[in-house]
Amino acid sequence: MESVIRYDWTVEEIKQIMEMPFLDLLYKAQTVHRENFPANEVQISALLSIKTGSCPEDCKYCPQSAHYSTGVQKEKLLSYETIMQKAACAKRSGATRFCMGAAWRNPKDRDIDFIVEVIRGVKSLGLETCMTLGMLTDSQTQRLAEAGLDYYNHNLDTSPEFYENIITTRSYEDRLETIKSLRRHHIKICCGGILGMGESRDDRASFLRQLAIINPHPESVPINMLVKVKGTPLESAPDLDPFEFIRVVATARIIMPDSVIRLSAGREKMSEEMQAWAFMAGASSIFYGTKLLTTPNSAETRDDSLLKKLGIRGTPAAAASDEEDLRIIFEKIHEGAHDDQAEHHGCFRLE
């Protein structure tokens, strides 16, 4: 039995795992993976930006920060109909979870009524729901929990030591507070970070330690490769060695044996071989669809072909709804649409 659940990892121990001979590391990671998850399976999530741009935070990687000129088209909060339409598309494309992101420092209390409606609506399609809306107060978290929100994404992003090089408008402690609030209200935690921002190996080990001392571990751990966006301070960050990226994925797999590790942003620029290594290292979740929040994702046809070549299947949906169900739901949504936004954003067309 290679899997050991521990919450007392030191940076040194984590570095020792990261620095194992590459093939030993991957062998161990895949062994731990198979002890805890079905082999050759990936969970598929779809992502939608429900409120885009003009964010007051200064995250140096982010195209949506109002501090930088990145050319991202600002959009106000999408309508219920538009979001449902996109969720129905995601369901039809095979996603089992629908993740919705807003470029907010934190939601206002008046936004929560709408978010609650959206959570209920998306769940009614038989999808798991995930929100990422910034920091939450405890009463906001409670309302999201009551609405049945499955996951909340709130990333630590990097090590506590490197953090102030990346974000100055909120602290590491602020992030941890929201995570504690999510745990109090039993919402599953999706928490990870970004590699390739100029951090050192020590930072990467220290970042992993922060995740692995959360007790219990986050249910979902997204590992993003920095998407270098023109206009952000990190537009010219040096490329991270792909093997170093894979080492971090494998180490995350080993030290958090029952967390799902998501190969998250950055797949568009990754070779098929690199993604195959990441799956071997224990990543078993991806974002599927043409777009992440504001930047392109790996194309669906490329993903279909890669998963087929590797013999990897999508995790079956917990609650299936067939094509006919989706058509009926979609028709209802369409009838209720009183704006042209739904039409504009539509990807689910009734033939």
157 binds, among ligand DTB, ligand SF4, ligand SAM, none (CB under 5 to 8 A by kind): ligand SAM
Question: Read out DSSP for 161-227?
Answer: TTGGGT--SS-HHHHHHHHHHHHHTTPEEE--EEE-SS--HHHHHHHHHHHHTSSSPPSEEEEEEP-
> What is the C-alpha R_g of the chain?
19
Binding segment for ligand SAM (CB under 6 A), chosen from 5-13, 27-35, 154-162, 330-338, is: 154-162
Question: Read out DSSP for 230-286?
Answer: TTSTTTTPPPPPHHHHHHHHHHHHHHSTTSEEEE-TTGGGS-HHHHHHHHHTTEEEE
65 binds, among ligand SF4, ligand SAM, ligand DTB, none (CB under 5 to 8 A by kind): ligand SF4
H or E stretch at 109: helix 109-124
Distance CA(87)–CA(89), nearest Å, equals 5
Nearer to ligand DTB, 210 or 294 (CB): 294
Binding segment for ligand SAM (CB under 6 A), chosen from 40-48, 100-108, 272-280, 339-347, is: 100-108
Nearer to ligand DTB, 49 or 85 (CB): 49
CB of 170 to ligand SF4, least distance (A): 8
Q: Is 298 in the site for ligand SAM (CB under 6 A)?
A: no
Q: Is 263 in the site for ligand DTB (CB under 6 A)?
A: no
- Residues 182-221, one symbol each (x = binds ligand SAM by CB under 6 A, - = not), give -----------xx---------------------------
Q: Is 30 in the site for ligand SAM (CB under 6 A)?
A: no
Q: Is 224 in the site for ligand SAM (CB under 6 A)?
A: yes
Q: Which of 293, 307, 326, 342 binds ligand SAM (CB under 6 A)?
A: 293
The residues annotated as belonging to the active site are: 55, 59, 62, 99, 130, 190, 262
Task: Identify which of 332, 130, 115 has the alpha carbon closest to the alpha carbon of residue 348.
Answer: 332
Binding segment for ligand SAM (CB under 6 A), chosen from 14-22, 27-35, 226-234, 308-316, is: 226-234
- Asked whether the beta carbons of 284 and 264 are under 8 A apart, the reply is no
Distance CA(188)–CA(98), nearest Å, equals 14
The footprint of ligand DTB on residues 85-124 (CB under 6 A) is 99, 101
CB of 313 to ligand SF4, least distance (A): 32
- Residues 58-87, one symbol each (x = binds ligand SF4 by CB under 6 A, - = not), give -x--x-xx----------------------
Distance CA(311)–CA(56), nearest Å, equals 43
Nearer to ligand DTB, 147 or 293 (CB): 293
Query: Helix, strand, coil: what percent of the chain each, to 5?
Result: 40, 15, 45
Residue number of the CB atom closest to ligand DTB: 292
The footprint of ligand DTB on residues 293-312 (CB under 6 A) is 293-295
Residues in contact with 240: Cβ distance below 8 Å, sequence separation at least 6, in sequence order = 195, 196, 225, 226
Q: Which of 224, 251, 284, 298 binds ligand DTB (CB under 6 A)?
A: 224
Q: Is 98 exposed, middle or buried (0-12, 13-18, 19+ CB in 10 A)?
A: buried
H or E stretch at 100: strand 97-102
Q: Which of 132, 140, 141, 275 binds ligand SAM (CB under 6 A)?
A: 132
CB of 217 to ligand SAM, least distance (A): 18
User: Which residues in this chain contact ligand DTB in the complex, by CB under 6 A?
Assistant: 47, 63, 99, 101, 132, 153, 155, 192, 222, 224, 227, 264-265, 292-295
